[in-house]
Amino acid sequence: MHCSANVQEHDPTIRTMNETVMTDDHKPSFEHPVRLHKGETAPNFELESDEYKHYALADFKHQNVVLYFYPQAMTSGCTIEANDFKANLEKFEKAGYTVIGISRDGVDKLQEFREKNGLNFILLSDPDYEVHKLYGTVKETFEDGKKEYAVVRSTFVLDGEDKIVSAEYDVNPEGHVVDLLGKIAK
Protein backbone atom coordinates (compact mmCIF):
# COMPACT_ATOMS: atom_id res chain seq x y z
CA MET A 1 0.00 0.00 0.00
CA HIS A 2 1.08 3.55 -0.44
CA CYS A 3 0.58 6.86 1.30
CA SER A 4 0.07 9.98 -0.72
CA ALA A 5 2.99 12.38 -0.70
CA ASN A 6 0.72 15.06 0.72
CA VAL A 7 -0.04 13.06 3.86
CA GLN A 8 3.53 11.82 4.28
CA GLU A 9 4.90 15.36 4.05
CA HIS A 10 2.73 16.68 6.86
CA ASP A 11 2.23 13.69 9.13
CA PRO A 12 5.17 12.55 11.26
CA THR A 13 3.25 9.38 12.17
CA ILE A 14 3.17 8.05 8.62
CA ARG A 15 6.44 6.26 8.19
CA THR A 16 7.50 3.01 6.66
CA MET A 17 4.63 0.58 7.24
CA ASN A 18 2.56 3.39 8.84
CA GLU A 19 4.35 3.36 12.19
CA THR A 20 4.90 6.09 14.71
CA VAL A 21 7.86 6.04 17.07
CA MET A 22 7.30 6.29 20.82
CA THR A 23 10.04 8.21 22.57
CA ASP A 24 8.61 8.60 26.06
CA ASP A 25 9.39 6.52 29.13
CA HIS A 26 6.55 3.99 28.63
CA LYS A 27 8.38 0.94 27.33
CA PRO A 28 6.34 -2.18 26.58
CA SER A 29 7.72 -5.63 27.19
CA PHE A 30 8.06 -8.01 24.28
CA GLU A 31 7.91 -11.24 26.25
CA HIS A 32 4.96 -12.44 24.17
CA PRO A 33 5.10 -10.93 20.69
CA VAL A 34 1.96 -11.81 18.78
CA ARG A 35 0.25 -11.52 15.46
CA LEU A 36 -3.41 -12.44 15.65
CA HIS A 37 -5.11 -14.34 12.85
CA LYS A 38 -8.54 -15.08 11.48
CA GLY A 39 -10.39 -17.65 13.60
CA GLU A 40 -8.56 -16.90 16.86
CA THR A 41 -10.34 -15.54 19.91
CA ALA A 42 -9.70 -11.83 20.41
CA PRO A 43 -8.02 -11.08 23.76
CA ASN A 44 -10.32 -9.42 26.29
CA PHE A 45 -9.28 -6.08 27.76
CA GLU A 46 -10.57 -3.14 29.76
CA LEU A 47 -9.64 0.45 28.96
CA GLU A 48 -10.84 3.95 29.79
CA SER A 49 -12.62 6.01 27.15
CA ASP A 50 -12.39 9.70 26.39
CA GLU A 51 -15.64 10.01 28.39
CA TYR A 52 -13.99 8.46 31.50
CA LYS A 53 -16.04 5.27 31.11
CA HIS A 54 -14.40 1.87 31.34
CA TYR A 55 -15.08 -0.56 28.52
CA ALA A 56 -14.13 -4.21 28.25
CA LEU A 57 -14.32 -6.22 25.05
CA ALA A 58 -16.66 -8.52 27.00
CA ASP A 59 -19.14 -5.60 27.17
CA PHE A 60 -19.70 -6.12 23.44
CA LYS A 61 -20.47 -9.85 23.65
CA HIS A 62 -22.93 -10.87 20.93
CA GLN A 63 -22.03 -7.76 18.91
CA ASN A 64 -19.81 -7.52 15.87
CA VAL A 65 -16.93 -5.11 16.48
CA VAL A 66 -14.43 -3.22 14.32
CA LEU A 67 -11.45 -2.59 16.59
CA TYR A 68 -8.86 -0.28 15.10
CA PHE A 69 -5.49 0.78 16.51
CA TYR A 70 -4.04 4.10 15.42
CA PRO A 71 -0.71 5.69 16.33
CA GLN A 72 -1.57 9.17 17.58
CA ALA A 73 -4.63 11.41 17.79
CA MET A 74 -4.50 14.84 16.14
CA THR A 75 -2.09 13.81 13.37
CA SER A 76 -3.19 13.89 9.75
CA GLY A 77 -3.11 10.14 9.03
CA CYS A 78 -5.04 9.30 12.18
CA THR A 79 -7.47 12.15 11.56
CA ILE A 80 -8.11 10.91 8.01
CA GLU A 81 -8.84 7.41 9.30
CA ALA A 82 -11.05 8.61 12.19
CA ASN A 83 -13.03 10.94 9.92
CA ASP A 84 -13.54 8.09 7.45
CA PHE A 85 -14.95 5.93 10.26
CA LYS A 86 -17.16 8.86 11.31
CA ALA A 87 -18.44 9.40 7.76
CA ASN A 88 -19.22 5.69 7.36
CA LEU A 89 -20.40 4.89 10.88
CA GLU A 90 -24.05 4.56 9.88
CA LYS A 91 -23.07 1.99 7.23
CA PHE A 92 -21.04 0.00 9.77
CA GLU A 93 -23.95 0.12 12.22
CA LYS A 94 -26.41 -0.93 9.51
CA ALA A 95 -24.13 -3.91 8.81
CA GLY A 96 -24.26 -4.72 12.55
CA TYR A 97 -20.84 -3.43 13.71
CA THR A 98 -19.71 -1.28 16.62
CA VAL A 99 -16.57 0.78 15.86
CA ILE A 100 -13.93 1.24 18.57
CA GLY A 101 -10.66 3.16 18.17
CA ILE A 102 -7.65 2.53 20.44
CA SER A 103 -4.49 4.61 20.77
CA ARG A 104 -1.79 5.26 23.34
CA ASP A 105 -3.08 8.80 23.80
CA GLY A 106 -4.35 9.91 27.19
CA VAL A 107 -8.03 10.51 27.88
CA ASP A 108 -7.71 14.32 27.62
CA LYS A 109 -6.11 14.14 24.19
CA LEU A 110 -8.82 11.72 23.03
CA GLN A 111 -11.49 14.17 24.25
CA GLU A 112 -9.84 16.92 22.22
CA PHE A 113 -9.64 14.60 19.18
CA ARG A 114 -13.36 13.76 19.48
CA GLU A 115 -14.41 17.39 19.91
CA LYS A 116 -12.22 18.79 17.15
CA ASN A 117 -13.41 16.18 14.62
CA GLY A 118 -16.97 15.52 15.85
CA LEU A 119 -16.20 11.81 16.24
CA ASN A 120 -19.19 9.62 16.99
CA PHE A 121 -17.73 6.30 18.12
CA ILE A 122 -15.86 4.95 21.15
CA LEU A 123 -12.23 6.06 21.66
CA LEU A 124 -10.15 4.14 24.19
CA SER A 125 -6.85 5.07 25.85
CA ASP A 126 -4.03 2.50 26.17
CA PRO A 127 -1.15 4.65 27.50
CA ASP A 128 0.91 1.68 28.73
CA TYR A 129 0.47 -0.30 25.48
CA GLU A 130 -1.03 -3.28 27.33
CA VAL A 131 -3.78 -3.92 24.77
CA HIS A 132 -1.45 -3.01 21.91
CA LYS A 133 0.85 -5.81 23.09
CA LEU A 134 -2.05 -8.30 23.28
CA TYR A 135 -2.99 -7.54 19.68
CA GLY A 136 0.55 -7.27 18.32
CA THR A 137 0.21 -3.61 17.34
CA VAL A 138 3.40 -2.32 18.97
CA LYS A 139 6.97 -3.37 18.24
CA GLU A 140 10.59 -2.47 18.81
CA THR A 141 12.37 -0.27 16.32
CA PHE A 142 15.84 1.22 16.17
CA GLU A 143 16.35 4.81 15.13
CA ASP A 144 19.76 6.47 15.20
CA GLY A 145 21.05 3.43 17.09
CA LYS A 146 18.49 3.90 19.85
CA LYS A 147 15.82 1.31 20.70
CA GLU A 148 12.33 2.77 20.58
CA TYR A 149 8.77 1.51 20.12
CA ALA A 150 6.33 1.94 17.27
CA VAL A 151 2.58 1.53 17.05
CA VAL A 152 1.48 -0.38 13.95
CA ARG A 153 -1.78 0.92 12.45
CA SER A 154 -4.05 -2.15 12.49
CA THR A 155 -7.70 -3.18 12.27
CA PHE A 156 -9.53 -6.24 13.58
CA VAL A 157 -13.04 -7.34 12.69
CA LEU A 158 -14.62 -9.46 15.43
CA ASP A 159 -17.83 -11.46 15.38
CA GLY A 160 -20.32 -11.60 18.24
CA GLU A 161 -18.37 -14.39 19.92
CA ASP A 162 -15.08 -12.44 19.92
CA LYS A 163 -13.65 -14.52 17.09
CA ILE A 164 -11.38 -12.67 14.70
CA VAL A 165 -12.97 -12.48 11.26
CA SER A 166 -10.16 -10.32 9.86
CA ALA A 167 -6.80 -9.06 11.18
CA GLU A 168 -5.07 -6.38 9.11
CA TYR A 169 -1.70 -4.96 10.12
CA ASP A 170 0.17 -2.03 8.56
CA VAL A 171 -2.93 -0.49 7.01
CA ASN A 172 -2.91 2.76 5.06
CA PRO A 173 -5.19 5.39 6.62
CA GLU A 174 -6.31 6.61 3.21
CA GLY A 175 -9.02 4.42 1.74
CA HIS A 176 -8.75 1.74 4.42
CA VAL A 177 -12.17 2.37 5.95
CA VAL A 178 -14.00 2.21 2.62
CA ASP A 179 -12.10 -0.97 1.69
CA LEU A 180 -12.98 -2.49 5.07
CA LEU A 181 -16.64 -1.61 4.66
CA GLY A 182 -16.63 -3.30 1.25
CA LYS A 183 -15.21 -6.49 2.79
CA ILE A 184 -17.72 -6.47 5.64
CA ALA A 185 -20.65 -5.94 3.28
CA LYS A 186 -19.76 -9.08 1.27
The CATH number of the domain holding residue 107 is 3.40.30.10
According to the model, what pLDDT value does residue 142 have?
82
The answer, yes or no, to whether residue 2 has pLDDT greater than 60, is no
- The reply to whether 109 falls in a domain is yes
Domain of residue 57: give its range.
38-185
According to the model, what pLDDT value does residue 62 have?
95
- The reply to whether 157 falls in a domain is yes
The pLDDT tens digits of the residues spanning 133-174 come to 999 999 878 888 888 878 999 999 999 999 999 999 999 999
- The reply to whether 171 falls in a domain is yes
According to the model, what pLDDT value does residue 140 have?
78
According to the model, what pLDDT value does residue 78 have?
96
Active site residue 78: yes
Domains identified in the chain, total number: 1
According to the model, what pLDDT value does residue 146 have?
87
| Window from 17-26, 63-72, 82-91, 129-138 with minimum mean pLDDT | 17-26
SS (H, E, C) the chain: CCCCHHHHHHCCCCCHHHEEEECCCCCCCCCCCCCCCCCCECCCCEEEECCCCEEEHHHHCCCEEEEEECCCCCCHHHHHHHHHHHHHHHHHHHCCEEEEEEECCCHHHHHHHHHHHCCCCEEEECCCCHHHHHHCCEEEEEECCEEEEEEECEEEEECCCCEEEEEEECCCCCCHHHHHHHHHHC
- The reply to whether 16 falls in a domain is no
Average pLDDT, integer, range 91-100: 97
Average pLDDT, integer, range 60-75: 96
- The reply to whether 172 falls in a domain is yes
According to the model, what pLDDT value does residue 3 have?
33
- The reply to whether 65 falls in a domain is yes
- The reply to whether 31 falls in a domain is no
According to the model, what pLDDT value does residue 33 have?
60
Contact call for residues 137 and 151 (beta carbons, < 8 A): yes
The pLDDT tens digits of the residues spanning 3-48 come to 333 333 333 333 333 333 444 444 445 554 678 999 999 999 999 9
- The reply to whether 138 falls in a domain is yes
Catalytic residue among 22, 78, 119, 151: 78
